[in-house]
Amino acid sequence: MTTAQTRIPPTELTGIFGSVVKVAARRMIGRVPDSMGVLAHHPALMRASMGIGRKVDALHELDRDLASYAVMATAATIGCSWCLDFNYYKAHNEGLDETKARLVPAWREASAFTPLERDVMEYAEAMSLTPPAVTDELSARLLAALGPAALIELTAKVAFMNMSSRMNVALGIHSEGYADSCELPPLATRSGAPGTDATQPDAPRPAPSAVVGSAA
């Protein structure tokens, strides 16, 4: 269920493309989310965004679990509850490790992740700060562990999630119950910046210096 009103009222999805989107949404969660109605004001942008998203998601140089943790860590850093909810639901549907996926928002306090997984999420966080704070040391560790193609793909997936998350937060698009539709346990929580809704104030958010300098 939508937790708050969007800043631009949703409109009706029309035409062949709109019909396809509505059918797909109803199959997934039983209704058409408000987020789709917001983007329906600009159908060309909606098609372009969904098209790029599908193409980026289909890349396969990077391990799927690592990609899932990276995009969820990005969404948690920015504060996009819609992106966290959808990607948790997506991890469940694709047979990924949903127990770990549930812990991504609090990955620094969780013991379940490997050093490589922690490096991937630190990279996602560092990329998502303003200005980006990726260090040479972190990049070198990931290059050695993943290779150039997978590191480039990781960077692209985090960049696309930054675009999606920041658009959703700015437009007031919130979690719409994707995970609830599968009766998944709730995500772990972390504190967020003022105005975000993806996290709860029960764990301190690391300062940018901690994000940059933390060990894997």
Domains of the chain by residue range: 60-213
Return the pLDDT at 210: 32
156 within 8 A of 52, measured Cβ to Cβ: no
- Report residue 4's pLDDT band, with 50, 70 and 90 as the boundaries: low
Stated as kind and residue range, the H or E segment containing 70 is helix 64-78
176 within 8 A of 82, measured Cβ to Cβ: yes
Q: Return the residue matching tokens 């998944």.
A: 184
Higher pLDDT, 14 or 200: 14
Higher pLDDT, 75 or 214: 75
| Tokens (6 digits) for 24 | 């797909």
* Three-point CA angle 160, 166, 171, nearest 5°: 130
8 within 8 A of 41, measured Cβ to Cβ: yes
| Tokens (6 digits) for 161 | 């999630």
Q: Above 80 in pLDDT, residue 77? A: yes
d(CA 216, CA 213): 9
Task: Report pLDDT digits (tens) over 196-207.
Answer: 344 333 333 333
Mean pLDDT of 158-174: 96
Reply yes or no: is the peptide bond before residue 131 cis, omega within 30 of 0. Answer: yes
Task: Report pLDDT digits (tens) over 81-90.
Answer: 999 988 998 8
Q: Which residue type does 185 have?
A: P
| Tokens (6 digits) for 19 | 């019909």
**b/e per residue, 77-93, with b = 16+ CB within 10 A?**
bbbbbbbbbbbbbbbbe
Task: Report pLDDT digits (tens) over 27-40.
Answer: 877 778 888 899 99
Mean pLDDT of 153-181: 91
Mean pLDDT of 128-137: 97
Domain 60-213 has CATH 1.20.1290.10: yes
